[in-house]
Amino acid sequence: MKLKELESCLQQVDTFEEPKILLEQYPTSAHIAACMLYTIHSTFDDIEGKLVADLGCGCGVLSIGAAMLDAGLCVGFDIDDDALGVFRRNAEEFDVCNVDLVQCDLCCVETESYAQRFDTVIMNPPFGTKHNQGIDMRFLRAALTMASTAVYSLHKTSTREHVKKKANDWGVKMEVIAELRYDLPASYKFHKKKSVDIEVDFIRFFKT
């Protein structure tokens, strides 16, 4: 499947009906999702035939894209039942059967029971800006526990030095694959502008 084709399919994925601020329910745009997944697939060969986890999967844009790129299975994890309901409907619409779902709070779940169970973890985690400081690093810690090969994640560029330090403390290498402009649509009442651009790093974490 070509990049453009993937992006145009992902534009059809439904997103949050009533996004919850405290859960940072900002969907990944079809453009960013397609670029991320296409790079993970074509540059690193970390999707096709692999067991993939999508942490904070929301309505499933990353999982469905991974399924379309022939992941062996992509398992989405999210705390929110409403988002998972939309995910289920999306999966039916797209007729993908290589996806599965787990409802859980990734800050509390015993990730050790999933230790190295997945080849690849992909995620667009909450950034920790809504009274939940540090949640991005809790997601990253869980992802690194669960993945045997690599973790692909989005982090605010302004936190890069902090992320580097954590990766170093945890004995993993990281590579910033791309610097992206994340167009945050004005989905919440407190957003006065139509959309706000924030700078985001697309990072690959791997063990050596």
Ligand X SMILES: C[S@@+](CC[C@H](N)C(=O)[O-])C[C@H]1O[C@@H](n2cnc3c(N)ncnc32)[C@H](O)[C@@H]1O
* Chain positions contacting ligand X, by CB under 6 A: 23-28, 56-58, 61-62, 78-80, 83, 105-107, 124, 126
User: Regarding beta strands 118-123 and 99-103, do their DSSP bridges make them parallel or antiparallel, or are they unpaired?
Assistant: unpaired
121: burial class by Cβ within 10 Å (0-12, 13-18, 19+)?
Answer: buried
Smallest distance from ligand X to CB 63, Å: 8
* Under 8 Å between Cβ of 188 and 26: no
| Shorter beta-carbon distance to ligand X: residue 31 or 207 | 31
| Shorter beta-carbon distance to ligand X: residue 7 or 80 | 80
166 SS3 class: helix
Smallest distance from ligand X to CB 134, Å: 11
Smallest distance from ligand X to CB 183, Å: 13
Smallest distance from ligand X to CB 130, Å: 9
43 SS3 class: coil
Both tokens assigned to 173: 């290498």
| Shorter beta-carbon distance to ligand X: residue 5 or 105 | 105
| Shorter beta-carbon distance to ligand X: residue 138 or 160 | 138
3: burial class by Cβ within 10 Å (0-12, 13-18, 19+)?
Answer: middle
| Shorter beta-carbon distance to ligand X: residue 18 or 208 | 18
Core vs surface per residue 144-162: b (16+ CB within 10 A) or e? bbbbebbbbbbbbbebbee
Strand partners, 152: 122, 204
Smallest distance from ligand X to CB 208, Å: 27
